[in-house]
Amino acid sequence: MRFIFLLLLTIDTHAGPLDFLSIHQANTAYEKQDYQLAGEKFSHIDNDAARLNQANSLYKQGLYKQSLKQYKAVKDKSLAFDRLYNSGNAYAKSGQINEAIDSYEAALKLKKDEDALFNLELVKKQKRKRKQNKQDKNKKHNKQKKNSQKNKSKEKSVNKQQQKNKLNTIKQQRWEKALNKQLRTLMIPLNKQQDNNEQNPW
């Protein structure tokens, strides 16, 4: 994403030598990528261009929420495009996709800009991707839930079948036990008869 930085060359006619020194130090620090020092120096300059660059310095440090707060403090209409464009970047970086889209669209209403349009399409694509991922995640969750319910139903069915089998086994065992008792009862005389008359057990 492209980022807009305003190089402060002049300040109002009431500016004193210290203001010019602060501007020079702030610009130099920013160019040297010492964004913390740049932010501090810009904070001592009381105009919207300096506030915008202070916000930019916070953005460059990854302090997106603080930078957004500072961007909102910029009221100068001539800086509106830069403020909206850079706010879009800060929103995008902090994961606030809808706000980023709104900022880029508002910036594009003020000025046609290829980079702003590119960023807008990029975050819209990101939004679609997020939506698709969410839908895929929901589908996966629903599938897992369905499978879980199926498995529970299957488990219930298996459990029912197991209980039925167990009951049948118990019934079978009882029946066999009862039968065995009868057989044993019948076998006793046969055995006795077998002992007494081995040649003719009947």
In CATH, what number is assigned to the domain containing residue 75?
A: 1.25.40.10
HSE value, Cβ hemisphere, 13 Å, CA-based, for 26: 30
Output the DSSP codes for 36-92: HHHHHHHHTS-SHHHHHHHHHHHHHTT-HHHHHHHHHT---GGGHHHHHHHHHHHHH
pLDDT (tens digit per residue) in 97-130: 999 999 999 999 999 999 999 999 999 998 998 8
Give the model's pLDDT for residue 174: 65
Residues 29 and 86 in one domain: yes
Domain boundary among 127, 146, 175: 127
Residues 108 and 172 in one domain: no
Q: Rounded to 5 degrees, what are φ and ψ at 24?
A: -60, -45
pLDDT (tens digit per residue) in 48-98: 999 999 999 999 999 999 999 999 999 999 999 999 999 999 999 999 999
DSSP 197: -
- Domain containing residue 58: 17-127
Residues 118 and 172 in one domain: no
Please report whether residue 157 resides in a domain. no
Kindly state the percentage of the chain with pLDDT values over 70: 70
CB atoms within 10 A of CB 136: 10
Residues 101 and 186 in one domain: no
User: How many domains is the chain partitioned into structurally?
Assistant: 2
Please report whether residue 174 resides in a domain. yes
What are the angstrom distances between the C-alpha of 81 and each of 12, 89, 104, 193?
A: 21, 12, 9, 117
Query: In 100-110, which positions are buried (b, 16+ CB within 10 angstroms) versus exposed (e)?
Result: bbbbbebbbee
Residues 179 and 89 in one domain: no
| 8 A C-beta contact, residue 71 and residue 86 | yes
Residues 31 and 117 in one domain: yes
What gap in Å lies between CA 65 and CA 60, rounded to an integer? 12
